[in-house]
Structure 1
């Protein structure tokens, strides 16, 4: 096995079982590994430290898999990791009201670069590393054997693949092509999921619990759902008796699917208004028109893809939330989220404090949202805790 030598003084993170080794921490490579090869990581003295996927095109040159030298990383190892991850989610799916969840969550499940989401009888897969890419025939076979899905669809269109030297993919891997809309249930709400054309893998299972929690505050309220996508928060708020819900998203497909989702659930369409628009522009129009809401939901895309973008992202989060606060009735609720892993909760709270100051508002933090159990956070990989949110009462 090809040997990668770590620079002296760079052992701490590896010993703490953090799964990433950056290229700058590598002293030398003995041999000529092909990207995606499993290599042996040793310290400056030559002592074994871990096995991992190697990629010289990525800033994360090694993604570590095992710290036990006696473990053989082979097909049996891979199948065991997949079965363990899937088994841990079965309690979520053994109910009558939910048949969608994340089955495998990359580093959190010790499979760096592999994401698998289950939507009823269909699986959506995202492959983000060259190491996993080379193991996909085994991954597909094990998923098919375990779950017997109607399809396994490759939704590996994330730009991060380019950093691994991989092209983007959007294709069927196994089974029959999934329909344009797959009907799934989450907390007894029905959704139409479009895997091929939808964002990410087709849906955002990471907000499942947060949608359910927030909805109980919407009863009898005038709600604004921004970056609504296909209506996760919108549908839950209508189900729990919101007086009205206005949904704003820039995607025509998302708005079209949201409208269809309201029909699928048999909800009163008169309670709902859908607006296809840029959210920031639409918020300013609401302000100019003197519109006010009782509950506002801000669930934007990732503003900070890395720590180097954090300052710019903080300004964007602050401005978005400042305008949101100005549109609330006194004592209204702002449910605001960040899916940027680079922004921790304390920084997010500080950004909201700045937004409140600029808006001339007083804010109480009354609830903290987080990602659900099918998106676990590995103790040695805090970067996996990317989703955070706050429910704020604004005066």
Structure 2
């Protein structure tokens, strides 16, 4: 791979259609092919990651970005100074800004700490995610335009953080949407140990950064796990789509519940949860059920089993706008079943990581659940992702996680 900065090549010019410029005055970084009128380039085909200047329909320069000829998201914008080169010093400055924020947020950068170091668009680095697990970095590329610059980005990360190793994780669907070929692999240094141990909210977790979900752990739920535990008052917790058992183990660690049942369709996730329960001394207070979330809740309902608290943290239900209605029906069905197995006065913690589902959509879904079940629902907190996953107000897609904590009478 090369650093992809193309030092001797002038940027191509991408001209917008009439009345398509408004999002880019507000610094939204995504330019889809439907907004583009023409592309003025000196080569055909245009190389992946070629620098480009975005222009209004009148030819006025707006911003500078990187072009992807093989994606419907044709241009990702990185600078609103059209003359600013997207060279190594530019990426270094952006990484410095991201690292500076995490040093403000986290005093512990030890071998058992874990947090998101770079959060894509929110850090001005569209398509780049970097998670830090102790002495190792986990990198995700969701933008093909960064692939030619990967070696350069790794060097900038090594200079600043001196990790023991860097591992690449790929996200489902990126190969198709970005027109690139990526696979999980070691990028530099040592491979992370399996398991790699981290500590969060007083709980020790063994994490599989090579094959576990996301980059190995759901770092975005850190504060939500602690907040939810603060509302539980003993009894039996049902943790649906539990993965490594974060909500359950945090509640057990804080003494907020007496017993937890975890449900996940994945055998490996439940094995990981069991190992973490044993690691923290909770093996006798947690039991597992390997089932689809809906099926498990239906079985509990049919058996007349009820719980003092229920956590719902399902995977993303839609990646496309055409799937929004179906996703909302799925969230409704799941939450209705959860309410029906919840004791009066119990706590429901319900989450959605589908960025296309708005907070208002999610609350309206819960209102419908309350109406259909005849249960009075009171929202105690409506939360988002942990602060190492910051929200850019001009990029609504960065506010993807909803975590609503309710009392259900």
| TM-score, normalized by the shorter chain, greater than 0.5 | yes
Cα 1:69/1:141, change in 2 over 3 Å: same
Q: Following TM superposition, by how much is the alpha carbon of 1:126 offset from its aligned partner in structure 2, in angstroms?
A: 0.4
> Does 2:81 align with 1:43?
no
> Does 2:279 align with 1:264?
yes
Which stretches in structure 1 are left out of the alignment for 5+ residues?
A: none
Contact 1:219 1:237 in 2 (8 A): no
> Does 2:35 align with 1:22?
no
Q: Residues 338-395 of structure 1: CA distance to partner in whole angstroms, max 9, x if unpaired?
A: 1011111111011111122222222111111211111011121111100012111112
Q: For residue 339 of structure 2, what is the aligned residue in structure 1?
A: 325
Q: Following TM superposition, by how much is the alpha carbon of 1:96 offset from its aligned partner in structure 2, in angstroms?
A: 8.0
Q: Following TM superposition, by how much is the alpha carbon of 1:219 offset from its aligned partner in structure 2, in angstroms?
A: 3.9
Contact 1:38 1:54 in 2 (8 A): yes
Q: Following TM superposition, by how much is the alpha carbon of 1:168 offset from its aligned partner in structure 2, in angstroms?
A: 3.1
Query: Secondary structure of 1:79's match?
Result: helix
Contact 2:204 2:276 in 1 (8 A): yes
Contact 1:101 1:119 in 2 (8 A): yes
> Does 2:349 align with 1:335?
yes
Which of 367, 372, 375 is matched with 1:353 structurally? 367
For 2:83 and 2:180, the matched residues in 1 are separated by 31
For 1:387 and 1:2, the matched residues in 2 are separated by 36
Q: Following TM superposition, by how much is the alpha carbon of 1:95 offset from its aligned partner in structure 2, in angstroms?
A: 2.9
Q: Following TM superposition, by how much is the alpha carbon of 1:282 offset from its aligned partner in structure 2, in angstroms?
A: 0.7
Q: Following TM superposition, by how much is the alpha carbon of 1:306 offset from its aligned partner in structure 2, in angstroms?
A: 2.2
For 1:132 and 1:194, the matched residues in 2 are separated by 25
Contact 2:102 2:388 in 1 (8 A): yes
Contact 1:129 1:161 in 2 (8 A): no
Which stretches in structure 2 are left out of the alignment for 5+ residues?
A: 1-10
Matches within 5 A, 1:64-213: 64-95=77-108, 99-213=113-227
Contact 2:116 2:132 in 1 (8 A): yes
- TM-score calculated relative to the size of structure 1: 0.97
Contact 2:64 2:84 in 1 (8 A): no
How many aligned residue pairs are there?
394
Q: Following TM superposition, by how much is the alpha carbon of 1:61 offset from its aligned partner in structure 2, in angstroms?
A: 1.3
Q: For residue 247 of structure 1, what is the aligned residue in structure 2?
A: 262
Q: Residues 157-190 of structure 1: CA distance to partner in whole angstroms, max 9, x if unpaired?
A: 4212321111231100011121210001112211
Q: Following TM superposition, by how much is the alpha carbon of 1:70 offset from its aligned partner in structure 2, in angstroms?
A: 3.3
Query: Secondary structure of 1:88's match?
Result: helix
For 1:368 and 1:93, the matched residues in 2 are separated by 23
